[in-house]
Amino acid sequence: MSTDFYRDGEPVADAKAPTGPIAERWERRRFSGRLVNPANRRKLRVIVVGTGLAGASAAATLGELGYRVANYCFQDSARRAHSIAAQGGINAAKNYRNDGDSVHRLFYDTVKGGDFRSRESNVHRLAEVSTEIIDQCVAQGVPFAREYGGLLDNRSFGGAQVSRTFYARGQTGQQLLLGAYQALQRQVAAGTVDLHTRHEMLELVIVEGKARGIIVRDLVTGEISTELADAVVLATGGYGNVFFLSTNAKGCNVTASWRAHRKGAYFANPCYTQIHPTCIPQSGDHQSKLTLMSESLRNDGRVWVPKKRGDHRHPAEIPEDERDYYLERRYPAFGNLVPRDIASRAAKIVCDEGHGVGPGGLGVYLDFADAIDRLGQKAVEARYGNLFDMYERITGENPYERPMRIYPAVHYTMGGLWVDYDLSSNIPGLFVTGEANFSDHGANRLGASALMQGLSDGYFVLPNTISDYLADGPFEALGEDHEAVVAARKEVDDRIEFFLHNDGDRTVDSFHRELGKIMWEYCGMERSDEGLRKAIGLIRDLKAEFYKRVKVTGKAEQLNQELEKAGRVADFFELGELMCIDALHRTESCGGHFRAESQTEEGEAKRDDEHFSYVAAWEFGEDEPVLHKEALEFEYVKPTQRSYK
Amino acid sequence: MKLSLRIWRQPDADTKGEMVPYEIDGVSEDASFLEMLDVLNEHLISEGKDPVAFDHDCREGICGACSLVIDGQAHGPQAATTTCQLHMRKFSDGDSIDIEPWRAGAFPVIKDLVVDRSAFDRIIQAGGYISAPTGTAPDAHAVPIPKQDADAAFNAAACIGCGACVAACPNGSGMLFMAAKVAHLGLTPQGQPERQTRVLGMVAAHDEAGFGGCTNVGECSAACPKEIGLDVIGRLNKDFRKAAIRAA
């Protein structure tokens, strides 16, 4: 069957989820998976691309197990991967607070929070492993927040009704990443991990259907080289930078994933993006990125806008009865703590209606006046001091005296390369971990769950599942003169040649900015049939212009940051189009994907389980992508309409 | 606002560099310092010139990639602020601003404002970790840690590895970076078994990388965007003396 912009293909054959009672599945899988004898591990080479939580933890653990690991990152040090910027915390079902938490409750909350678009088996495993992660990190010396008795502190976070979030002030990601980074450096010193910084993966090498290596560019010398191995792990993060403005680091990109996709790896649910409600609003056209203010602020801050449209008075001059605390009004049960997708859209609605504050009316107030009255400024300072300071540095306004202005921004991408239960893509030998895969968060990720998933994949899941594949290795030795290697290198060389010799007149950033605006306008917080069709046309036109007019200065054999950006933006164009096609085909609203045509009478998201209870796994096609559906079954958590009223 | 910039340009590690003047107009005071450089680069590319290379990534003050000496100060004039978090409202219309890379023997220039900080990774490889292979950990509550120790460990662990301490030090010493890690791990019970080998290994790696010695000048702490205190250096010295005596 052929539909608009895509073709229907065969359903996904096998997601390898084990059967039996859900609480026993992970144990069963670990037992049924084949192992590799310790003496044979050193004969097996594994490439890990990326050094964030999912990459560094996997590389370090595989090194500890005795495999020979080659690890790559584009940053100048493994410690700079963007996991470092995660602020809020990491969930674990420890039930240290005795407040009714359990593995099953974390599992339940995550499936529900994901709006019933994730796999039960995967999510249950994540919840099981969560407790081991905290143990592991504490053993590494991660300085989590503690209470006076010396035990670990927990907080409630991102819409959860139990306190299961472990944190290290507002720098949890930094501390967890440094733990993984240090474990990785220990393996570098031990000689099990060969770490290459300032290298970017530009192509995947596939031989006889198996992923066997990557082509990388040394970002300092420009040298192109080949790394061959028995398996390749992509831990290359999310693709939020397709929007140009996002809370991602400037270097975050989709190239490694997209090159794998072009070689046959399915890309799943690309339209599921998370728009985070508490970011600092854009201040002007020079803006290069958006900064997140931790969601934990919503624990004590109250969100409001003036009831009167276009009210430009100083917030202190707006009396209480002229303020609309719209989250508390619309969602009395959860109030300011509703999940991210709901808080973001509610902010968009009030701003679209003309109640927004600050430049362009794109902002809402996050007010701490009540918290300061109740707890005192000192207590508020102890909780959020570093965040308040950051806000003041960026905006020049003092949030102790004047409410913060916040607005939603792209933060995380739930979609990613399709993986089975073993974290293997549909290309044998290509594994995908962390944000780069799609598997655990469904259509919406809950707060403090990204760090949990990255470390779960890297420390505990992948090292256990990859052995089943590697048990068949080592695979036939390859030379750099193998035709697949030569062909992959040629593709890389041709792309670089093209960019450097294109007789253009527009900068890469100018195209990226324009692409981002299209994506934000039509594939952002609210999507519609009409808008998405328009976006696909606009992206295609802009892409054609990009190839005609893009200008890249400098040479290939040097540090050339424009050349790096050009390749990444070229891939963002193709991804952006697929995101719009995915969003267009999914005519329901679910999680971060809100279709204007599918809402309840009260304006809430309306899911369509009858037609869309599946993972959309897209196969690359030169003319049009092919849709493979993986049906989702819910045996333990029965799908209900999410309600936070 | 209108600014006169002088920026260090150096095509590669082997070629001599120089300060090159640039004029830039229409800079918004709400722009960050790096966004000002983005605007400059857009102009340069349009004129067919090579844009200024500089390291940056998260642009929210935590990855530690950005690394500019602005008017002689590592990360510029605002205390406790990385280059990426510095905003143009801290400058005035008509200002002249000098922009240079980190200058230190152990951080060779790669291009323009980009330097090689891999020596920091080598210091960590020499002992800046706790040996806890995945899967070996006891329950997280098995060993309580007094809150004041945990807080002190966190303060030291807040280091972002940017290298401003080295750039600010007249000796080009990496002492504050190294001592922050020694203090972080030494303040936790889990870090005790390797405390002595750690400090000996890290100091040896530090010296081998070509960093200078510490003479307690204190510029490092003043330049540190995360306000790591000099007390960590006292801790390192104490640990080092103890370990050296034991090892002798």
When CB atoms are compared, the residue of A141, A171, A195 closest to B190 is A141
Tell me: ipTM over 0.85: yes
Q: Do B236 and B150 share a structural domain?
A: yes
B187 falls within a domain: yes
B190 shares contact with chain A (CB less than 8 Å): yes
Task: Kindly report, residue by residue over B16-50, the tens digit of the pLDDT.
Answer: 999 999 999 999 999 999 999 999 999 999 999 99
What is the rounded average pLDDT of the residues A246-275? 98
Q: Do B159 and B83 share a structural domain?
A: no
The whole-angstrom separation of Cα A378 and Cα A364 is 25
Asked if A389's CB is within 8 angstroms of B39's CB, the reply is no
Backbone angles phi, psi at A351, to 5 degrees: -70, -40
Match 């990109």 to its residue by tokens. Answer: A253
When CB atoms are compared, the residue of A138, A220, A247 closest to B110 is A220
Q: Do A251 and A122 share a structural domain?
A: yes
Q: Which residues of B touch A152 (CB under 8 A)?
A: 140-141
Question: What residues contact residue A37 under an 8 Å CB cut-off, 6+ apart?
Answer: none
Q: Do A286 and A175 share a structural domain?
A: no
B204 shares contact with chain A (CB less than 8 Å): no
Q: Do B154 and B105 share a structural domain?
A: no
Asked if A143's CB is within 8 angstroms of B184's CB, the reply is yes
The DSSP output letter for A465 is H
Asked if B56's CB is within 8 angstroms of A143's CB, the reply is no
Tally of domains in chain A:
3
When CB atoms are compared, the residue of B114, B118, B146 closest to A559 is B114
Asked if B150's CB is within 8 angstroms of A145's CB, the reply is yes
List B3's β-bridge partners, or say none. B24
Q: Do B178 and B61 share a structural domain?
A: no
B103 falls within a domain: yes
Q: Which residues of B touch A563 (CB under 8 A)?
A: none
B136 falls within a domain: no
Query: Which of the residues B36, B42, B43, B63 would you substitute to probe the A interface, choosing the one with the greatest number of A C-beta atoms within 10 Å?
Result: B63
pLDDT at A444: 93
B29 falls within a domain: yes
A477 falls within a domain: no
Cis, peptide link before residue A474, omega less than 30° from 0: yes
Residue closest to B222 by CA, chosen among B84, B99, B78: B78
Which is more confident, A624 or A170? A624
Q: Do A563 and A491 share a structural domain?
A: yes
Question: What residues contact residue A136 under an 8 Å CB cut-off, 6+ apart?
Answer: A455, A459, B132, B134, B135, B137
B60 falls within a domain: yes
Residue closest to A599 by CA, chosen among A273, A329, A607, A591: A607
Q: Do B195 and B171 share a structural domain?
A: yes
CA distance B41 to chain A (A): 10
- Of the listed ranges A331-345, B52-66, B111-125, B157-171, the least confidently predicted one is A331-345
Q: Which residues of B touch A60 (CB under 8 A)?
A: 134
Per DSSP (E only), the strands in A390-469 are 404-413, 416-417, 430-432
For CA atoms A325, A331, A337, A338, the dihedral sign is negative
What is the rounded average pLDDT of the residues B88-95? 98
A35 falls within a domain: yes
Asked if B30's CB is within 8 angstroms of A183's CB, the reply is no
B137 falls within a domain: no
Match 């840690």 to its residue by tokens. Answer: B145
pTM metric for this prediction: 0.97
When CB atoms are compared, the residue of B50, B63, B137 closest to A553 is B50
Asked if A60's CB is within 8 angstroms of B50's CB, the reply is no
The DSSP output letter for B53 is P
Range of the domain at B217: 117-131+145-247
CB neighbour class for A123 (10 Å; exposed up to 12, middle 13-18, buried from 19): buried
Q: Do B241 and B125 share a structural domain?
A: yes
Q: Which residues of A touch B38 (CB under 8 A)?
A: 286, 288, 509
When CB atoms are compared, the residue of B62, B147, B151 closest to A85 is B62
Q: Do A261 and A169 share a structural domain?
A: yes
Match 């449209």 to its residue by tokens. Answer: A309
Task: Kindly report, residue by residue over A527-586, the tens digit of the pLDDT.
Answer: 999 999 999 999 999 999 999 999 999 999 999 999 999 999 999 999 999 999 999 999
A86 falls within a domain: yes
When CB atoms are compared, the residue of A75, A148, A561 closest to B65 is A75
CA distance A68 to chain B (A): 16
Question: What residues contact residue B174 under an 8 Å CB cut-off, 6+ apart?
Answer: B106, B119, B120, B123, B163, B165, B166, B206, B209, B211
The whole-angstrom separation of Cα B51 and Cα B43 is 9
Asked if A186's CB is within 8 angstroms of B129's CB, the reply is yes
3-state secondary structure of A118: coil
Tally of domains in chain B:
2
Task: Return the H-helix or E-strand segment holding A289.
Answer: none
Asked if B60's CB is within 8 angstroms of A390's CB, the reply is yes
What is the rounded average pLDDT of the residues A164-193? 96
Interface of B with A in 83-122 (CB under 8 A): 85-87, 89, 110-111, 114, 116-118, 120-121
Question: pLDDT-derived band of residue A502, with 50, 70 and 90 as boundaries?
Answer: very high
Q: Do B149 and B94 share a structural domain?
A: no
Interface of B with A in 206-245 (CB under 8 A): none
The answer to whether residues A29 and A20 touch, using CB atoms and an 8 Å cutoff, is no
Query: Which of the residues A84, A181, A433 would you substitute to probe the B interface, choosing the one with the greatest number of B C-beta atoms within 10 Å?
Result: A84
CA distance A390 to chain B (A): 8
Asked if pLDDT for residue A2 goes beyond 50, the answer is: no
Question: CA angle, A336 as apex, A295 and A282 as ends, to 5°?
Answer: 55
The answer to whether residues A560 and B54 touch, using CB atoms and an 8 Å cutoff, is no
Query: Which of the residues B37, B47, B54, B57 would you substitute to probe the A interface, choosing the one with the greatest number of A C-beta atoms within 10 Å?
Result: B57
Interface of B with A in 8-37 (CB under 8 A): 11-12, 28, 30-32, 34-36
Asked if pLDDT for residue A644 goes beyond 80, the answer is: no
Asked if B132's CB is within 8 angstroms of A183's CB, the reply is yes
What is the rounded average pLDDT of the residues A21-29? 97
Asked if B190's CB is within 8 angstroms of A140's CB, the reply is yes
The whole-angstrom separation of Cα B111 and Cα B238 is 39
B140 falls within a domain: no
CB pairs under 8 A between A and B: 223
A141: region left, alpha or beta (phi > 0 left; psi from -120 to 50 alpha): left
The answer to whether residues A118 and A439 touch, using CB atoms and an 8 Å cutoff, is yes
Q: Do A254 and A162 share a structural domain?
A: yes
The whole-angstrom separation of Cα A227 and Cα A593 is 38
Q: Do B149 and B83 share a structural domain?
A: no
Asked if B134's CB is within 8 angstroms of A459's CB, the reply is yes
B138 falls within a domain: no
The answer to whether residues A331 and A338 touch, using CB atoms and an 8 Å cutoff, is yes
Q: Do A437 and A353 share a structural domain?
A: no
Q: Do A8 and A143 share a structural domain?
A: yes
The answer to whether residues A585 and A608 touch, using CB atoms and an 8 Å cutoff, is no
pLDDT at A603: 84
Percent of chain B scored above 70 by pLDDT?
A: 100
The DSSP bridge pattern shows strands A45-49 and A231-234 to be parallel
Q: Do A281 and A259 share a structural domain?
A: no
Tell me the two tokens of residue B2.
């209108």
DSSP sequence for A21-40: -GGGHHHHHHHHS----HHH
Tell me the two tokens of residue A420.
């089975």
Q: Do A401 and A329 share a structural domain?
A: yes
The answer to whether residues A504 and A549 touch, using CB atoms and an 8 Å cutoff, is yes
The answer to whether residues A614 and A118 touch, using CB atoms and an 8 Å cutoff, is no
Q: Do A405 and A443 share a structural domain?
A: no
The whole-angstrom separation of Cα A276 and Cα A294 is 10
pLDDT at A294: 84
Question: pLDDT-derived band of residue A159, with 50, 70 and 90 as boundaries?
Answer: low
The whole-angstrom separation of Cα A465 and Cα A421 is 9
Task: Kindly report, residue by residue over A78-124, the tens digit of the pLDDT.
Answer: 999 999 999 889 999 999 999 999 999 999 999 999 999 999 999 99
3-state secondary structure A518-556: HHHHHHCCCECHHHHHHHHHHHHHHHHHHHHHECCCCCC
Q: Do B218 and B166 share a structural domain?
A: yes
CB neighbour class for A185 (10 Å; exposed up to 12, middle 13-18, buried from 19): buried
Q: Do B127 and B34 share a structural domain?
A: no
A627 falls within a domain: no
Q: Do A445 and A349 share a structural domain?
A: no
CA distance A40 to chain B (A): 20
* C-alpha distance across the termini of chain A, in Å: 41
Boundary (domain end) residue, out of A362, A382, A411: A411
CATH number at residue A513: 1.20.58.100
CA distance A642 to chain B (A): 34
**Residue in B with minimal Cα distance to A393:** B85
pLDDT at B175: 98
A567 falls within a domain: yes
Percent of chain A scored above 90 by pLDDT?
A: 91
Asked if A168's CB is within 8 angstroms of B154's CB, the reply is yes
Range of the domain at A373: 276-411
A442 falls within a domain: yes
CATH number at residue A390: 3.90.700.10
CATH number at residue A205: 3.50.50.60
Q: Do B170 and B79 share a structural domain?
A: no
The DSSP output letter for B138 is P
What is the rounded average pLDDT of the residues A449-473? 98
**Residue in B with minimal Cα distance to A511:** B42
The whole-angstrom separation of Cα A513 and Cα A273 is 18
When CB atoms are compared, the residue of B46, B58, B154 closest to A143 is B154
CATH number at residue B9: 3.10.20.30
Count each helix (H run) and each strand (E run) in chain A, helices first.
18, 21
Q: Do A173 and A78 share a structural domain?
A: yes
Q: Which residues of B touch A183 (CB under 8 A)?
A: 129, 132-134
Asked if B131's CB is within 8 angstroms of A394's CB, the reply is no
Asked if B31's CB is within 8 angstroms of A284's CB, the reply is yes
pLDDT at A1: 43
Q: Do B124 and B98 share a structural domain?
A: no
Asked if B38's CB is within 8 angstroms of A178's CB, the reply is no
A238 falls within a domain: yes
The whole-angstrom separation of Cα A220 and Cα A223 is 8
Asked if pLDDT for residue B204 goes beyond 70, the answer is: yes
The answer to whether residues B127 and B202 touch, using CB atoms and an 8 Å cutoff, is yes
A624 falls within a domain: no
CB neighbour class for A333 (10 Å; exposed up to 12, middle 13-18, buried from 19): exposed
The answer to whether residues A245 and A405 touch, using CB atoms and an 8 Å cutoff, is no
Asked if A185's CB is within 8 angstroms of B124's CB, the reply is yes
Which is more confident, A284 or B150? B150
Backbone angles phi, psi at A548, to 5 degrees: -80, -40
Q: Which residues of B touch A387 (CB under 8 A)?
A: none
CATH number at residue B194: 1.10.1060.10
Instruction: Please identify every residue of A annotated as catalytic.
Output: 340
The whole-angstrom separation of Cα A564 and Cα A549 is 17
3-state secondary structure of B174: coil
B125 shares contact with chain A (CB less than 8 Å): yes
